[in-house]
Amino acid sequence: MDKFRIHGGVPLSGTVVIRGAKNAALPAMAAALLTGERVVLHNVPRVRDIATLRSLLDELGVDSSIAHEEYGNRVEIEARQLISPVAPYELVKQMRASVLVLGPLLARFGHARVSLPGGCAIGARPINLHLKGLERLGATITMDHGYIDARAERLRGAAFHFDTISVTGTENLMMAASLAEGTTVLENAALEPEVQDLACLLNAMGARIQGAGTSRITIEGVGRLHGTEHTIIPDRIEAGTFMVAAVITRGCLRLERVRTQHLTAVIAKLEESGAKVSPGPPSGAGQAFDTLTAELPGGLTAADVTTREYPGFPTDMQAQYMALMTQASGSSVITETIFENRFLHALELVRMGADITVDGRRAVVRGPTPLSGANVQASDLRASASLVLAGLAAEGETVIDRVYHIDRGYERIEQRLAQVGARIQRISED
């Protein structure tokens, strides 16, 4: 298992090009199952989760390819037919977002057999709402041997209200409803930019979706969808992570190919704690994206945060923000409202010298406390990012084990950090 070795204390400076959003690329790749024609996706990040989903498409008998482009990577998918409707346990256990093939397989082929994704480090992660919604659309769903078996002659449009806001739940049902007979209305739907990007892709494929980005999404089913080309939105969580890297090291980073409008809650919170975030000229192919600069001109002060569904402060930025608050003057209360066990990084930060008290879904961080390098262990994707950020700020050497977690969602993060001055290297071990 690979490790990272970091020597902290270097203020980062330079330019980072932000990659496409993993959590937009995954549903987009699943959406390609809804047509037999070629779907071309640009700005796809080259991360483990994308490779895992490509392996799953391969298992299903669907051709896909990935190639470098000047900005990001191009993935081409052509789901002419299936050799199997089964998403096997070995792949689903690696990436629970595999459940995103459920809706498209059911809608296009009438049958899907997907391993139940277990829980993960941050919580039980049930998918009851995905299944309840598909049943509302007329699917027959049974469970056996740890697999979900879903069947439907033809899905029928229906109204469905989400008891809890679910990002992939909204995405799964939006994809399934695209080929259903009649109209579907999703209430209490997720507003995330990744949901909006998926609706944009589906409509480019011939779907008739309105209201994405609001809590009420209307999908008028159509007989078939066609191929298209689509550019994945920038990764707002990767952008937020690099912004924190600039602030926690008291450096200055210019981020290119971002979408600033997706970062308002993160920018507001960082500025509340003393950071300076400045917009720059448009960047990327056709100047389609934004640029911003993050730095810390003066002191860092503690600011409370509560994670919320979009457009609130994202849960996927909570661990990174906690690392930052260990360096802020004063006490900050961090409340995690989305997942029940998303403070695993706190224990490792304490081992590096942080003063953090966890009580259920609340953590109190008292700072600033000097961090000293230590051997730490990553537990999940964003906790790993938190430990990298702490290592960049710590005195001495930090060795982070199990960095495969971070490789799931960040493309070559150690190389991109080193390019802006970080003393970080990957130690590859068998």
Task: State the residues that interact with ligand EPZ by CB under 6 A.
Answer: 23, 26, 97, 123, 125-130, 164, 166-169, 194, 315-316, 338-339, 381-382, 409
Contact 236, 314 (CB under 8 A): yes
Task: Give every CB contact of residue 286 below 8 A, 6+ residues apart in sequence.
Answer: none
CA–CA separation, 269 vs 282, rounded Å? 23
Compute the least distance from the CB of residue 350 to ligand EPZ, in Å: 22
- Nearest partner of 232 among 43, 19, 12, 415, judged by Cα: 43
The C-alpha angle with vertex 277 and arms to 274 and 278, in degrees rounded to 5, equals 140
Facing residues of 306 across strands?
Answer: 335
Helix (H) or strand (E) holding 216: strand 216-220
CB of 227 to ligand EPZ, least distance (A): 23
CB closer to ligand EPZ out of 12 and 50? 50
Give whichever of 239 and 302 is closer to ligand EPZ, judged by the CB atom: 239
Closer to ligand EPZ by Cβ: residue 11 or 314 = 314
Task: Report in angstroms how near the CB of residue 194 gets to ligand EPZ at its nearest.
Answer: 6
Residue number, 380 or 401, with CB nearest to ligand EPZ: 380
Listed residue (62, 120, 70) closest to 94, CA to CA: 120
252 is catalytic: no
Q: How far is the CB of 286 from ligand EPZ (least distance, A)?
A: 27
- Those residues whose C-beta lies under 8 Å from the C-beta of residue 195, and which sit 6 or more positions away, are 167, 170, 171, 174, 189, 212, 213
Contact criterion met (CB below 8 Å) for 181 and 157: yes
C-alpha torsion 234→240→244→247, nearest 10: 70
In angstroms, the CA 73 to CA 286 distance is 16
Residue whose C-alpha is closest to residue 209's, from 225, 194, 221: 221
Nearest to 217 by CA among 257, 174, 186, 190: 186
Nearer to ligand EPZ, 296 or 400 (CB): 400
Closest CB 385 distance from ligand EPZ, rounded Å = 9
Residue placing its CB nearer to ligand EPZ in the complex, 228 or 315: 315
In the complex with ligand EPZ, the residue whose CB is nearer, 23 or 283, is 23
Q: Give the start-end residues of each E strand in 162-231.
A: 183-187, 208-210, 216-220, 228-231
Amino acid of residue 326:
T
CB of residue 274 to ligand EPZ, shortest distance in Å: 26
Eight-state DSSP code of residue 212 = B
The DSSP secondary-structure symbol of 8 reads: -
* Locus of tokens 């999940």: 380
Neighbour tally for 383: CB within 10 Å? 28
C-beta of residue 2 within 8 angstroms of C-beta of residue 241: no
Q: Which of 120, 185, 399, 418 is catalytic?
A: 120
Cβ at position 278, least distance to ligand EPZ in Å:
27
> Side chain identity at 61, as an amino acid letter?
G
Min separation Cβ 130 and ligand EPZ, Å: 5
Q: Which is nearer to ligand EPZ, 296 or 378 (CB)?
A: 378
| Rounded distance between C-alpha atoms, residue 101 and residue 84, angstroms | 12
Q: Is the dihedral of CA 173, 177, 182, 184 positive or negative?
A: positive
Residues catalogued as catalytic: 120
